[in-house]
Amino acid sequence: MHIRLIGSLLLTLTLITGCSMTHGDPKNPKKNPHPIKRYEVIATADAPGPWDSVGGTVFFDVINVDCVPQASFTGGRNVPNTGYDIEMIRMDEKTWKGYFYRDDLQGEDYFGQGICHWDATGVTPVFTVHGRAFGAATWVEDALHKGPQVDYFKKSDFIDRTPTPYGALDFSAINPDYIKHPDAFFPIMATVKEATP
């Protein structure tokens, strides 16, 4: 009887300790110590002049939303996301290449509802000139399955030296402004593919 009581107390203590353990921070997810899913992003910009700098950002989202609690009133979920800068290396006059790992972040149980799994969902090559950023936002899955993604930017935004806290506006090929005056724009194309070892 005495042994059973001690065992019960130990089990209760373990459960209490386990329930009170702190979970990871979804705003600062841990890095995967051994990522293997390596991808490359190739960005080509046919701009009307040279760039001051070129970089990139890769965006991660928790992809299994059931690990995130629902709001009691709206039923919505505040799904964690984050982003990291990546280096873009110049390949030639118009082309830059960068690398990222889709499994760069380690899954954790943040909310007591099971392990939240991360995936790289977007990547944005960012070209900067005169303090103005030209970001070609690209969904990873779209780029992998549909091929290169192209955004168009006004040449006048590239030439304009007026300081602005905002990035240049991007246009699609079906935008009426682009269709009407295609010569007033230049393209930035982003390609995403699995990187060879």
Q: Annotate the chain with three-state secondary structure.
A: CHHHHHHHHHHHHHHHHHHHCCCCCCCCCCECCCCCCEEEEEEEECCCCCCCEEEEEEEEEECCHHHCCECCCCCCECCCEEEEEEECEECCCCEEEEEEECCCECCECCCCCCCECEEEEEEEEEEEECCEEEECCEEHHHHHHHCCEEEEEEHHHHHCCCCCCCCCCEECCCCHHHHHCHHHEEEEEEEEEECCC
pTM of the predicted protein model = 0.83
Mean pLDDT is lowest, of 18-27, 160-169, 170-179, for 18-27
Q: What is the mean pLDDT of residues 89-115?
A: 96
165 burial (CB, 10 Å; 0-12 / 13-18 / 19+) is: exposed
Question: pLDDT at residue 196 above 60?
Answer: yes
Q: What is the mean pLDDT of the chain?
A: 88
Q: What is the mean pLDDT of residues 112-124?
A: 96
pLDDT band at 128 (very low <50, low <70, confident <90, very high): very high
pLDDT of residue 7: 39
pLDDT of residue 45: 97
**Pairwise pLDDT comparison (7 vs 72), residue with the higher score:** 72
Q: pLDDT tens digits, residue range 3-14?
A: 443 333 333 333
Question: pLDDT at residue 173 above 50?
Answer: yes
Q: What is the mean pLDDT of residues 159-163?
A: 86
Q: Smallest Cα–Cα separation from 160: which of 126, 124, 133?
A: 133
Question: pLDDT at residue 190 above 80?
Answer: yes
Q: How far is CA 180 from the centre of its chain?
A: 32
Q: pLDDT tens digits, residue range 15-49?
A: 333 433 447 899 999 999 999 999 999 999 999 99
Strand-pair partners of 7: none
Question: pLDDT at residue 118 above 60?
Answer: yes
pLDDT band at 197 (very low <50, low <70, confident <90, very high): low
**Pairwise pLDDT comparison (64 vs 10), residue with the higher score:** 64
